[in-house]
C-alpha cells in the first residue's frame, strides 16, 4: 500500500537524477601552495609589480595582445582580434566581439579607453601630453577614496612614456595615440600593467582599494575572495570567451615554508606547490605519483648597486663585486645546473635585437683585488639587504656571495628585511641589495630601459642614474631604425654593466612547480600559471 509519504519518496527519487544531472559540475577544485600571494596586498598590476603578482594576473584579467608561452612567447590575439599600424605613433585595434566581464557586462571600446585614461594610470585630470580626445575617452576619477596610490603613476609612465591617449573609433575599434614614434607599442600592450577591466565594475566599487582587491576582468576565473597574506580564491567564469574553464575553483594559499608546501602536496592538501628549490626536486619525485615541472624563466637574478653610497660611488668598487662572483659555481651548487648565466641583462626572445656576443664580467678575483686597490677601498662595511627567500635559494645565494666577496677583501654585511618597503628605505645607509629583473616585452626597452632609464625604477629609488644612459634611452625608445637601436642597446649594456655598473647579473632565474603526476599541465617559461582549457588535461595540444 502506497502512502502519501512513500509516493513523495518515489516522486523524489524519480525527479532527483534529472535535477542533479542538470546541476552537476564535476570540475575539480584545485589548491596551489605559494610562497607569497601579493607583495602589496592588492591585485592591481600597476601597483603589484612583482613576480608573484604576475603568477595569477592572467587568470583574472587580460590584455588586448596575448602571449603564446608555449610557442616562442609570440604575440597573439587576446581581447583584440587584430591590430594594425596607422603610422609610427598610432596603433589601431579591432576588439573581440561578445567578451563578457565577470559582472556580466559586455566589453566595449569605452572600457579600453577607461583602462588607459589619464586618471586611471597617471592620477591626472588631463592627459599627460595634452592630446585632444573624444570626451567619451576621458574618464576622470578625482580625489577621495578613488584617488590613485602615489606609486602607480611612476610605473605607468615607465610603461607608457609617450602615450597621449586612446581614441574611440566605434564600439569595437580603438586607436592608441603616441606622442612620438614607438616600435615597441605592441609589446607594451602585451605586457603586465595593460589589463582591461570593467568601467562599470570600477564605478560600482566603494573605493580604489576595493576594486584593486576584487578587479572585474574578462579572464577565465573571477575573484570570490582575497584575504591578504592568506589566500586568493577564484571561481570559474563560465561566460569566458575562450571556452569553459576546466577548474571549478582555484585556491592559492600562502605557505612560506618550502617543507610545508611539499608536505601539503604529498598529503593531498594541495595539488600544486610552487617555488620548489632544485635540491628538493628529487625529494618530490622520490614519491610515486608526483613530479616537478619548470625551468629557466623570463627573469634574471641580479645584485643591485646604490651608487649614492660613498664607498660604491667609485665604479671600480662595483665592478670588483662583479668580477668576484663565480656564477657557474652558484648554478652548480644551488641550482643543480638547471639554469644558466645569460649574456647580461637580455633575453633570447629579443630576436635580432639580442647582443649575442655580450658577456657578463668574468670571474677573476685578482682583477677584483686590483680594482679595489686602485679605488683606494679601505675595508669599509657595505650593507647588503635581502628578504628571507622571497626568491628561491635567496638566503643560500647571499651566503655564497658573501664568502666570494670576502675572498677579494670586500666587507659586506647582510641586513635581513621583512618587505620591499624596508629594502628600499632611504633613512639608513644602503649599499647593495638582492633583486631580479624581468622582460616586460620582447625588446630591450622592456627591461634595461624601464628599469634603469630616466623614468626607471632604480633611478626612482634613488640608487643609480647616468646622464649618457638617459639620453640613449630616449633614442632607443623613439628611433625606428633597428640597426641604430641595436647599437644603442649595446652601449647601454656597456655603461650599466661595465663602465658605471648599476647592477651585476648572477644567473637566469628558474621556476619549479611540484604537482601530482596524473594532472596534465605545463609550466610556462615565466612566473605565470596558466589554467585555461588549452593547458589542462585533454585540452593540451602537442
- Give tens-digit pLDDT for 432-484: 999 999 888 999 999 999 999 998 889 989 999 999 999 999 999 999 999 99
Tell me: the pLDDT tens digits for 380-431?
A: 999 999 999 889 999 999 999 999 999 999 999 999 999 989 999 999 999 9
Q: What local confidence, expressed as pLDDT, does residue 3 receive?
A: 36
Q: What is the mean pLDDT of residues 15-25?
A: 55
Cα distances from 70 to residues 404, 528, 531, 542, in angstroms, run 38, 12, 13, 10
Q: What local confidence, expressed as pLDDT, does residue 145 receive?
A: 65
| 266 has a pLDDT exceeding 70 | yes
What is the location of CATH 3.90.76.10 in the chain?
A: 60-202
The angle, 0 to 180 degrees and rounded to 10, between the axes of the packed helices 327-335 and 394-407 is 150
Q: What local confidence, expressed as pLDDT, does residue 285 receive?
A: 97
Please tell me what DSSP assigns to residue 475: H
Phi, psi of 84 (to 5 degrees): -150, 155
Mention every residue, 6+ apart, whose C-beta is less than 8 A from residue 439.
298, 347, 349, 350, 446, 447
Cα distance between residue 139 and residue 119, in whole Å:
7
| 11 has a pLDDT exceeding 90 | no
| 138 has a pLDDT exceeding 80 | no
Give the cell for residue 406: 670576502
Tell me: the pLDDT tens digits for 333-367?
A: 999 999 999 999 999 999 999 999 999 999 999 99
Please, is 418 exposed, middle or buried when counting C-beta atoms within 10 Å of its C-beta (0-12, 13-18, 19+)?
exposed
Q: What is the mean pLDDT of residues 160-167?
A: 91
Return the number of other C-beta atoms located less than 10 Å from residue 26's C-beta: 5
Q: What is the mean pLDDT of residues 290-319?
A: 97
Q: What is the pTM of this model?
A: 0.87
At 157, the pLDDT band (50, 70, 90 cuts) reads: confident
Say if CB 33 and CB 273 are below 8 A apart.
yes
Q: What local confidence, expressed as pLDDT, does residue 140 receive?
A: 34
Bigger pLDDT: 182 vs 21: 182
Q: What local confidence, expressed as pLDDT, does residue 130 receive?
A: 33
Q: What is the 3 state secondary structure string of 490-529?
A: HHHHHHHHHHCCCEEEEEEEEEEEEEECCCCCCCCCCCCC
Q: What local confidence, expressed as pLDDT, does residue 200 receive?
A: 95
Q: What local confidence, expressed as pLDDT, does residue 139 receive?
A: 34
| 137 has a pLDDT exceeding 90 | no
Q: What local confidence, expressed as pLDDT, does residue 7 receive?
A: 35
Please, is 66 exposed, middle or buried when counting C-beta atoms within 10 Å of its C-beta (0-12, 13-18, 19+)?
middle
| 542 has a pLDDT exceeding 80 | no
| 53 has a pLDDT exceeding 90 | no
Which residue in this structure is represented by grid cell 585595434? 93
Out of 130-134, 158-162, 488-492, give the one with best mean pLDDT.
488-492
Bigger pLDDT: 294 vs 132: 294
Please, is 337 exposed, middle or buried when counting C-beta atoms within 10 Å of its C-beta (0-12, 13-18, 19+)?
exposed
Phi, psi of 433 (to 5 degrees): -145, 160
| 17 has a pLDDT exceeding 60 | no
Tell me: the pLDDT tens digits for 194-234?
A: 999 999 999 999 999 999 999 999 999 999 999 999 999 99
Tell me: the pLDDT tens digits for 64-85?
A: 999 999 999 999 999 999 999 9
Mention every residue, 6+ apart, whose C-beta is less than 8 A from residue 81.
94, 95, 96, 97
Which residue in this structure is represented by grid cell 537524477? 17
Please tell me what DSSP assigns to residue 52: H
| 9 has a pLDDT exceeding 70 | no
Percent of the chain topping pLDDT 70: 91
- Contacts by 234-241 with C-beta closer than 8 Å and gap 24+? 234/56, 234/59, 234/60, 236/27, 237/100, 237/102, 239/100, 239/104, 240/100, 241/96, 241/98, 241/99, 241/100
Cα angle value 480/483/485 (rounded, 5°): 60
Give the cell for residue 66: 596575448
Residues across the chain: 542
Pick the range with the lowest mean pLDDT from 51-55, 87-91, 534-538: 51-55
| 150 has a pLDDT exceeding 90 | no
Which residue in this structure is represented by grid cell 570626451? 135
Closest CA to 69 of 397, 293, 259: 293
- In the chain, DSSP finds a helix count (H) and a strand count (E) of 19, 16
- The average confidence (pLDDT) of the chain is 90
Please, is 491 exposed, middle or buried when counting C-beta atoms within 10 Å of its C-beta (0-12, 13-18, 19+)?
middle
Give the cell for residue 495: 655603461
Q: What share of the chain is helix, strand, coil (3-state, %, to 5)?
A: 35, 20, 45
Bigger pLDDT: 2 vs 311: 311
Q: Which CATH superfamily is domain 60-202 in?
A: Dipeptide-binding Protein; Domain 1 (3.90.76.10)
| 20 has a pLDDT exceeding 60 | no
Phi, psi of 227 (to 5 degrees): -110, 105
Half-sphere exposure of residue 186, counting CA atoms within 13 Å on the CB side? Answer: 20
| CATH, domain range 298-509 | 3.10.105.10
3-state DSSP assignment of residue 18:
helix
Return the number of other C-beta atoms located less than 10 Å from residue 459's C-beta: 19
What is the location of CATH 3.10.105.10 in the chain?
A: 298-509
Mention every residue, 6+ apart, whose C-beta is less than 8 A from residue 145.
206, 207, 208, 209
3-state DSSP assignment of residue 458:
helix
- Rounded to a whole number of angstroms, the CA Rg of the chain reads 25
Q: What local confidence, expressed as pLDDT, does residue 287 receive?
A: 97
Q: What local confidence, expressed as pLDDT, does residue 342 receive?
A: 97
| 136 has a pLDDT exceeding 60 | no
Cα distance between residue 278 and residue 511, in whole Å:
9
Return the number of other C-beta atoms located less than 10 Å from residue 166's C-beta: 24
| 485 has a pLDDT exceeding 90 | yes
Which residue in this structure is represented by grid cell 638582492? 434
Cα distance between residue 375 and residue 307, in whole Å:
14
Say if CB 166 and CB 227 are below 8 A apart.
no
Amino acid at each position: 500500500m502506497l502512502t502519501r509519504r512513500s509516493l513523495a519518496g518515489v516522486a523524489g527519487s524519480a525527479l532527483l537524477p534529472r535535477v542533479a544531472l542538470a546541476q552537476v559540475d564535476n570540475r575539480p577544485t584545485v589548491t596551489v601552495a605559494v610562497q607569497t600571494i601579493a607583495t602589496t596586498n592588492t591585485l592591481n598590476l600597476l601597483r603589484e609589480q612583482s613576480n608573484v603578482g604576475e603568477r595569477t594576473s592572467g587568470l583574472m584579467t587580460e590584455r588586448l595582445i596575448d602571449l603564446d608561452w608555449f610557442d616562442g612567447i609570440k604575440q597573439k590575439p587576446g581581447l583584440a582580434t587584430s591590430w594594425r599600424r596607422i603610422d609610427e605613433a598610432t596603433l589601431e585595434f579591432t576588439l573581440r566581439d561578445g567578451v563578457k566581464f565577470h559582472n556580466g557586462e559586455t566589453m566595449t571600446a569605452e572600457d579600453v579607453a577607461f583602462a588607459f585614461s589619464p586618471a586611471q594610470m597617471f592620477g591626472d585630470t588631463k592627459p599627460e601630453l595634452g592630446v585632444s580626445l573624444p570626451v567619451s575617452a576621458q574618464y576622470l576619477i578625482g580625489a577621495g577614496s578613488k584617488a590613485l596610490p602615489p606609486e602607480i603613476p611612476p610605473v605607468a609612465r615607465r610603461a607608457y612614456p609617450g602615450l597621449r591617449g586612446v581614441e574611440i573609433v566605434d564600439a569595437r575599434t580603438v586607436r592608441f595615440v603616441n606622442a612620438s614614434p614607438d616600435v615597441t607599442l605592441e609589446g607594451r600592450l602585451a605586457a603586465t600593467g595593460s589589463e582591461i577591466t570593467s568601467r562599470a565594475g570600477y564605478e560600482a566599487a566603494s573605493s580604489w582599494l576595493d576594486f584593486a582587491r576584487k578587479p572585474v576582468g574578462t579572464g577565465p576565473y573571477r575573484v570570490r575572495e582575497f584575504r591578504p597574506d592568506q589566500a586568493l580564491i577564484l571561481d570559474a567564469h563560465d561566460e569566458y570567451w575562450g571556452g569553459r574553464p576546466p577548474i571549478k575553483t582555484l585556491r592559492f594559499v600562502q605557505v612560506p615554508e618550502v617543507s610545508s608546501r611539499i608536505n601539503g602536496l604529498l598529503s593531498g592538501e594541495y595539488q600544486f606547490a610552487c617555488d620548489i628549490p632544485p635540491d628538493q626536486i628529487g625529494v618530490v619525485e622520490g614519491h610515486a605519483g608526483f613530479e616537478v615541472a619548470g625551468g629557466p624563466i623570463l627573469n634574471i637574478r641580479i645584485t643591485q648597486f646604490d651608487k649614492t653610497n660613498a664607498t660604491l660611488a667609485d665604479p671600480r668598487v662595483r665592478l670588483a663585486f662583479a668580477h668576484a662572483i663565480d656564477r657557474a659555481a652558484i648554478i652548480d651548487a644551488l641550482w643543480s645546473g638547471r639554469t644558466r648565466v645569460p649574456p647580461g641583462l637580455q633575453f633570447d626572445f629579443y630576436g635580432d635585437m639580442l647582443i649575442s656576443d655580450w658577456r657578463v664580467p668574468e670571474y677573476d678575483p685578482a682583477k677584483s683585488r686590483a680594482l679595489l686597490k686602485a679605488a683606494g677601498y679601505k675595508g669599509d662595511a657595505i650593507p647588503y639587504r635581502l628578504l628571507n627567500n622571497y626568491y628561491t635559494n635567496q638566503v643560500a645565494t647571499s651566503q655564497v656571495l658573501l664568502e666570494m666577496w670576502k675572498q677579494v677583501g670586500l666587507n659586506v654585511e647582510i641586513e635581513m628585511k621583512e618587505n620591499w618597503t624596508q629594502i628600499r628605505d632611504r633613512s639608513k645607509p644602503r649599499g647593495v641589495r638582492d633583486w631580479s629583473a624581468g622582460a616586460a616585452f620582447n625588446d630591450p626597452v622592456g627591461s634595461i630601459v624601464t628599469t634603469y632609464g630616466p623614468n626607471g625604477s632604480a633611478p626612482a629609488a634613488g640608487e643609480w642614474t647616468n646622464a649618457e644612459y638617459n639620453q640613449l634611452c630616449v633614442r632607443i625608445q623613439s628611433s625606428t631604425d633597428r640597426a641604430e637601436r641595436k647599437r644603442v642597446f649595446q652601449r647601454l649594456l656597456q655603461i650599466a654593466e661595465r663602465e658605471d655598473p648599476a647592477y651585476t647579473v648572477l644567473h637566469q632565474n628558474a621556476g619549479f612547480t611540484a604537482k601530482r603526476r596524473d594532472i596534465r599541465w605545463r609550466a610556462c617559461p615565466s612566473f605565470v600559471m596558466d589554467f585555461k582549457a588549452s593547458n589542462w588535461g585533454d585540452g593540451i595540444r602537442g
